[in-house]
Structure 1
Amino acid sequence: QPRRLAGTILAYAKNIDHLENLGAAVTKMVRRHVETGVKAEHYPYVAEALLPAIRDVVGAEVATDDVLAAWGEAYWMLADILIAAEAE
């Protein structure tokens, strides 16, 4: 799960300037989250696990505090999109 989560955030970060490329993936995630009962209040728990997972995957020399802060910001941007879509 940590690699999957980190991979998802990496794909999101790579397309941050072209969010239209992620439409199908976001739709799939929303559907899966709704089916499995993911709620808005779960996202902070994921955020707590995310940064250590990223550091584990890419290594501490690459995942500096500044890099992790940027990844955390990207996570919350995506989380806000998902939360809004899941509420619909």
Structure 2
Amino acid sequence: MTPHQITIIQQSWENVLPIKAQAAEIFYNRLFELDPSLKPMFTGDIKQQGDKLMLTLSVAVNSLTRLETLIPILEDMARRHVDYGVQDKHYATVGQALIDTLATAFGDAFTDELKSAWTEMYQVVANTMINATQ
């Protein structure tokens, strides 16, 4: 990731934080629309799960300039996700749900440049998590 990509991701995330509950709801609705078979993996309160999602994304976004601190967190999380039934193929669906959520949240402000930066960030996260479980 380039320094510019990191900057625009971090700046754009500041605009998501005030609507994080709505963004989480959009995300999970989109995720289950893309793959209804994932819904049974979420047995707890989906609003609490949404809070966890937003916290995790905040940590990831805020750690982009210090990936060495983020990687162990992602690897640990990936190993836990295996116990929930997460498979490698699910990461693509989650990534699509994330990008679609951001597109909804930002509207016309979700430029190709911003979409590309977020896609790159998600690929770093997903690849780190997938590699941790191989």
Please indicate, yes or no, whether the TM-score normalized by the shorter chain is above 0.5: yes
Instruction: Name 1:77's counterpart in structure 2.
Output: 124
- C-alpha separation in 2, matches of 1:72 and 1:13: 13
Tell me the amino acid that sits aligned with residue 78 of structure 1: V
Query: 1:32: how far off?
Result: 2.6
Instruction: Name 1:43's counterpart in structure 2.
Output: 91
- C-alpha separation in 2, matches of 1:56 and 1:49: 10
Q: Which has the higher contact order (CA 8 A, sep 6+)?
A: 1
Unaligned regions of 5+ residues in structure 1, if any?
none
- C-alpha separation in 2, matches of 1:72 and 1:6: 17
Contact 1:30–1:82, Cα closer than 8 Å, also in 2: yes
- C-alpha separation in 2, matches of 1:32 and 1:53: 24
- Output the TM-score relative to the length of structure 1: 0.73
Moved over 6 A (4+): none
1:21 to 66, 69, 86: 69
Query: 1:53: how far off?
Result: 1.0
CA RMSD of aligned residues (A): 2.4
1:31 to 55, 74, 79: 79
Unaligned regions of 5+ residues in structure 2, if any?
1-23, 28-49
Tell me the amino acid that sits aligned with residue 66 of structure 2: H
- Output the TM-score relative to the length of structure 2: 0.52
- Largest Rg, 1 or 2: 2
Query: 1:67: how far off?
Result: 0.3
> How many residues matched?
86
CA distance 1:79–1:9, shift in 2 (3 Å): same
